[in-house]
Amino acid sequence: MTSRPALDLATLELDYEGFRRLAREPGLSAHEKIGFPDSYREGFEPAILADIVAKLPRLASDEGLSVVDIGPGCAALPRMLIDLCRDRRHTITLVDSPEMLALLPDVAGVTRKAPGLFPKNAAEVRAAAGRADALICYSVLHYIYVDCNLFDFVDATVALLAPGGRALIGDIPNHSKRRRFFATEGGQAFHRAFTGSTEPYVVPHDTPVPGKIDDAVLMGLMQRAQAAGCDAYLLPQPADLPMANRRDDLLLARP
């Protein structure tokens, strides 16, 4: 009998279809199904949720909101969000592949599911959620970038927001921030500890970075949202989150 080679998450090129395959793959942990080795996420979710709530405070202060989670995956974070929504009498519309959504619970009066690839299914999301008071899209934007035009994503997200609504597009790998970090002594020490190598890490500059989100992409997305009537902010993550040294959060707020 031939055994299947183990999945190497570090080298997988993931997009929406790639995550569908991971969701169907037996024998993977919930973190592995969303593309993370367990060590990247295990135990960090309460701190991640606390940061999301700090940036979307109406989640904890209000009741009866329409919440949308684009790309919830199937690990602890969406389950904790569903619990919070049940406690605050919010509804939460979960937007992901049918395979991923099947791994999340259905909670009467709380969860709604809008399967499909956002923003292509924006009309279905709007039909399920109405106007959103809080929209979360955490650790997903770099995959949406593979499949879609990010300006279409911003246009569809802004169109979903209710007056006073906020969208947190969180945990975005920012290639420029990563380069800035690894150019410091702290970044070099981090690299030595991570790789076990004593060789200096030479940070490449002035080279094309196809498919990577950088400062320019993020500024462009902010200006797109601002031109459509939203305030837009680029925010840091607390230092205790696992990838805070190279990731940014983008907050869009409809006045």
- Binding-site ranges for ligand SAM (CB under 6 A): 16, 19, 34-35, 70-73, 75, 77, 95-97, 100, 117-118, 138-140, 143-144, 147
DSSP class of 65 = -
Rounded to a whole number of angstroms, the minimum distance from the CB of residue 201 to ligand SAM is 25
Rounded distance between C-alpha atoms, residue 247 and residue 135, angstroms: 19
Rounded distance between C-alpha atoms, residue 113 and residue 118, angstroms: 13
Residue 114 neighbours by CB under 8 Å, 6+ apart = 93, 94, 95, 121, 124, 125, 127, 128, 129
Indicate the residue among 97 and 237 with the shorter CB distance to ligand SAM.
Answer: 97
84 three-state secondary structure? helix
Indicate the residue among 70 and 135 with the shorter CB distance to ligand SAM.
Answer: 70
DSSP class of 137 = E
Tokens of 233: 């902010």
209 three-state secondary structure? coil
50 three-state secondary structure? helix
Rounded to a whole number of angstroms, the minimum distance from the CB of residue 193 to ligand SAM is 24
Rounded to a whole number of angstroms, the minimum distance from the CB of residue 212 to ligand SAM is 16
Indicate the residue among 140 and 167 with the shorter CB distance to ligand SAM.
Answer: 140
Indicate the residue among 67 and 187 with the shorter CB distance to ligand SAM.
Answer: 67
Residue 136 · residue 170 · CB < 8 Å: yes
Indicate the residue among 168 and 222 with the shorter CB distance to ligand SAM.
Answer: 168
